[in-house]
């Protein structure tokens, strides 16, 4: 397992900037950032039209001015638009402006009308912006977004909150974003991916964790490969655990079946379904390996060592009773869907979760997360890392707050943001599939942390593999994700590919 890429909020980046020593003969961080931007811009400027550089009134604008200077020296035609007050510029940005002028550069005070550019560099505002853009910057952003021209954003697209990924009114919609020193949460979750386009990290020769410890990291394939070991040749199904799934109330049996099929395909040795629907089938004709029984008999299943509660559970009094029994079991537990809603509505169930000795994994979507902590959905959408971490600490649980850039939060206040997945997962049943995957990984002996990380990344990567095959995102189904997850897991563990 390789070292994950750290993620820092704006305050952490500021600490790193202050701590990095700059020798008398070494280029400043601004010089390094501007050069990195110019080098990337050179690969994106594929036609002879001029490059438009928007330079703001702070250090982000200074980075842009350094980039403009390099591009001009490389004989690109560059036009800079800036309304920065020279007397109020930070020292490094003032130096960058003077250097731009020294090579014959000038600044226009407003965006020219009806000009044709080959590339726009957005250097208006960086990680420090926490309010809506005002005039004239909001107008510039709207006009630039309307152009059929590629946009390269510096550090953070202007108007996007670097910590939360929420946009402050209007925000740049870039095709490329080059970010400096380390990744920021807002680039990876909420509205961030829609505004960033392709993300390029430039560390500027700075090893960020040397100067400030990280609490968050990127969840990518390098991190999860190797978490599930190959199976011994001398294997039997008992080695890979037994998963019990509680759910499947009337009209929602399919949710429990999806979770069960996912658990089976990701390697659980045995899978039992405890179904609340009195008229539920005795066998799954598409997956007869599953063992179906009434919900009240689930905990009587032999060898049961992992439980999943919630897929199609419903909110009846019977569901509450069965959930109470599951919460009291001394086994790792995955809580999803209506199990989370029932817990959110009961102080007694909340207390029981927090007091469990065995590991608990929780997989809320934003609405369920809002109910668990008494917040609004809007708060959850714009405070994803904070809310996921709050749930993890409050319930002593390992939490996946689902959505673009799923946030995986641990009880020790560390967190990861997932890099896999696509809009094809915004379809019925995919959450049930994730719950089954997590149950299967726990049953095979992974720690709760590793099961959460591998399961969340695998779930998203399976959707990405389907998209590569021309399946979705539109119309992608949860059943299709199950098969793709199995293929990927075998590829990672054994090097097998299909």
Looking only at the bridges linking them, the beta strands covering 216-219 and 6-7 are antiparallel
Q: Which residues contact 347 (CB under 8 A, 6 or more apart)?
A: none
Q: Say whether 404 counts as a known binding-site residue.
A: yes
Q: Say whether 419 counts as a known binding-site residue.
A: no
Query: Of 320, 291, 303, whose CA–CA distance to 236 is shortest?
Result: 303
Looking only at the bridges linking them, the beta strands covering 398-401 and 407-409 are antiparallel
- Residues, the chain: 498
Extract the runs of DSSP E, i.e. beta strands, from 234-324. 242-247, 270-275, 291-294, 306-309
Q: Say whether 59 counts as a known binding-site residue.
A: yes
Q: Say whether 494 counts as a known binding-site residue.
A: no
Query: Of 293, 269, 270, whose CA–CA distance to 282 is shortest?
Result: 293
Q: Which residues contact 213 (CB under 8 A, 6 or more apart)?
A: none
Query: Of 355, 359, 308, whose CA–CA distance to 332 is shortest?
Result: 359
Q: Say whether 129 counts as a known binding-site residue.
A: yes
Q: Say whether 194 counts as a known binding-site residue.
A: no
Q: Report the alpha-carbon angle 165-168-173, nearest 5.
A: 65
Q: Say whether 312 counts as a known binding-site residue.
A: yes
Q: Say whether 403 counts as a known binding-site residue.
A: yes
Q: Say whether 137 counts as a known binding-site residue.
A: yes
DSSP run (H or E) holding 122: strand 119-123
Q: Say whether 179 counts as a known binding-site residue.
A: no
Q: How far apart are CA 271 and CA 269, in angstroms?
A: 7
Q: Say whether 18 counts as a known binding-site residue.
A: no
Q: Say whether 314 counts as a known binding-site residue.
A: no
Measured distance between the N- and C-terminal CA atoms of the chain, rounded to whole angstroms: 24
Q: Say whether 184 counts as a known binding-site residue.
A: no
Query: Of 73, 223, 63, whose CA–CA distance to 153 is shortest?
Result: 63
Q: Say whether 255 counts as a known binding-site residue.
A: yes
Q: Which residues contact 19 (CB under 8 A, 6 or more apart)?
A: 211, 212
Q: Say whether 63 counts as a known binding-site residue.
A: yes
Q: Say whether 242 counts as a known binding-site residue.
A: no
> What is residue 191's three-state secondary structure?
coil
Q: Say whether 431 counts as a known binding-site residue.
A: yes
Q: Say whether 122 counts as a known binding-site residue.
A: yes
Which residue is associated with the tokens 């870039």?
Answer: 174
Query: Of 440, 469, 233, 232, whose CA–CA distance to 334 is shortest?
Result: 440
DSSP bridge partners of 306 = 243
Which residue is associated with the tokens 């590793």?
Answer: 450
- Binding-site residues for K(+), in ranges, read 60, 122, 158
- Binding-site residues for AMP, in ranges, read 402-406, 431
- Binding-site residues for (6S)-NADPHX, in ranges, read 59-63, 126-132, 137, 155, 255, 312, 365, 432
- Binding-site residues, in ranges, read 59-63, 122, 126-132, 137, 155, 158, 255, 312, 365, 402-406, 431-432
């Amino acid at each position: 397992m390789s070292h994950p890429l750290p993620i820092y909020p704006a305050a952490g980046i500021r600490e790193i900037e202050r701590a990095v020593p700059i020798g008398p003969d070494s280029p400043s961080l601004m010089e390094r950032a501007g050069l990195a931007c110019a080098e990337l811009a050179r690969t994106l400027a594929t036609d002879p039209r001029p490059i438009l550089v928007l330079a703001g009134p702070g250090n982000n604008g200074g980075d842009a001015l350094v980039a403009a200077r390099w591009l001009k020296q490389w004989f690109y035609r560059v036009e800079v638009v800036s309304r920065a007050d020279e007397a109020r510029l930070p020292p490094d940005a003032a130096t960058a402006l003077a250097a731009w002028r020294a090579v014959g550069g000038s600044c226009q005070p407003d965006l020219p009308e009806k000009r044709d550019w080959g590339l726009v560099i957005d250097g208006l505002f960086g990680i420090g912006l926490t309010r809506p853009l005002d005039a004239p910057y909001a107008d510039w952003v709207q006009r630039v977004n309307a152009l059929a021209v590629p946009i390269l954003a510096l550090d953070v697209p202007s108007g996007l909150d670097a910590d939360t990924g929420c946009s402050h009114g209007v925000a740049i919609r870039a095709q490329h974003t080059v970010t400096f020193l380390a990744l920021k949460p807002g680039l990876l979750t909420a509205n961030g991916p829609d505004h960033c386009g392709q993300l390029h990290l430039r560390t500027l020769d700075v090893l960020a964790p040397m100067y400030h410890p990280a609490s968050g990291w990127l969840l990518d394939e390098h991190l999860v490969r190797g978490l599930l070991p190959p199976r011994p040749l001398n294997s039997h199904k008992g080695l890979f655990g037994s998963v019990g799934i509680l759910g499947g109330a009337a009209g929602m049996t399919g949710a429990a079946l999806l979770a069960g099929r996912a658990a089976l395909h990701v390697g659980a040795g045995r899978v039992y379904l405890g179904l609340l629907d009195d008229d539920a089938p005795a066998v799954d004709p598409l997956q007869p390996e599953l063992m179906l029984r009434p919900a009240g008999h689930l905990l009587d299943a032999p060898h049961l060592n992992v439980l999943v509660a919630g897929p199609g559970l419903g909110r009846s009094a019977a569901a509450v009773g069965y959930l109470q029994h599951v919460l009291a079991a001394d086994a790792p537990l995955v809580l999803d869907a209506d199990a989370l809603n029932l817990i959110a509505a009961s102080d007694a169930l909340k207390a029981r979760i927090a007091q469990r000795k065995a590991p608990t994994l929780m997989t809320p979507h934003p609405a369920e997360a809002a109910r668990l902590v008494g917040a609004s959905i809007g708060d959850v959408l714009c405070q994803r890392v904070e809310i996921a971490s709050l749930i993890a600490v409050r319930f002593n649980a390992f939490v996946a707050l689902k959505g673009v850039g799923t946030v995986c939060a641990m009880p020790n206040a560390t967190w990861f943001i997932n890099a896999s997945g696509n809009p094809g997962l915004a379809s019925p049943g995919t959450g049930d599939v994730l719950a089954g995957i997590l149950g299967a990984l726990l049953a095979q002996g992974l720690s709760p942390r590793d099961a959460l990380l591998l399961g969340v990344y695998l779930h998203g990567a399976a959707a990405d593999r389907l998209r590569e095959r021309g399946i979705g995102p539109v119309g992608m189904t949860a059943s299709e994700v199950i098969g793709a997850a199995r293929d990927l897991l075998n590829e990672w563990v054994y090097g097998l590919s299909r």
